[in-house]
Amino acid sequence: MNPAQLPPLIEDLPLACRLRGAEGESAGLVLLMHGVGSNETSLAGFLSLLPRNLHVALVRFPYEMAPGAYSAFSVNFTADGPVIDAAAAEASRLKLAAFVGALQARTGMAPDRTLAAGFSQGGIMAAGLGLTRPDTVAGFAILSGRILPEIAPHLAAKSALAHLDALIAHGDYDDRLPVSWAERSAELLGELGVRFEQKRYAARHEITRDMADDFVAWVERRLAPAAT
């Protein structure tokens, strides 16, 4: 989608974003977060798929890697798996929590009407937000992502996580984050008592149309009955 056709960039919140306002009586707020080295426009295709009675925020991560390329933290993919800048990841997690609160205040949406989701690193941050600050969202979706082991010291108590719903969507042929990461996410959520759905696709490190459709259906179910 041409950036000129997108909502304007909002820069007076803890994170920059493009916000599509809800039409009519608003039913909820959905945060969409991009992968490393991309920007908020990469998930703009969801604007035409998600119900119009939802606020949808396309979030930009804080660290600029190059013009138009942003991340929540740097990552190197090694033979032993991803190696991250843990300090930057933690700073971004805290900034994301502050951003969500500020955006909820602006839109009038409560945490129980808020969902966080993202692709790859965006899914990592969505899961990190939900599992460490479950007071801020009703659920989260990990699209071709993972859950950082580094958030373990910050995980909320099981009792605080009990209301959450999660979606794990992953390609069987993902060559960037192998599907074993989705299995690890499912195992952890099971241990934490978080309700979740797991979807697998004949896909690589990407969002396919089937994955997008399943995500939209999950959002609609989680924000029912108002979102139709």
- pLDDT at res. 226: 47
* Topology (CATH level 3) of domain 3-222: Rossmann fold (3.40.50)
Taking phi over 0 as left and psi of -120 to 50 as alpha, with beta for the rest, 86 belongs to: alpha
Q: Look up tokens 């992953």; give the residue.
A: 170
151-163 pLDDT, tens digit each: 999 999 999 999 9
Mean pLDDT of all residues in 20-36? 96
> What is the spatial distance between Cα 127 and Cα 116, in angstroms, rounded to a whole number?
8
- The residue extents of the domains of the chain are 3-222
What are the beta bridge partners of residue 171?
Answer: 201
pLDDT digits (tens, 9 = 90+) for 1-17: 555 689 999 999 999 99
Separation CA 12–CA 26 (nearest Å): 22
pLDDT tens-digit profile of 45-100?
999 999 999 999 999 999 999 999 999 998 887 777 778 889 999 999 999 999 99
pLDDT digits (tens, 9 = 90+) for 177-207: 999 999 999 999 999 999 999 999 999 999 9
pLDDT digits (tens, 9 = 90+) for 122-180: 999 999 999 999 999 999 999 999 999 999 999 999 999 999 999 999 999 999 999 99
Which CA distances in Å does 6 have to 56, 104, 203?
A: 12, 21, 28
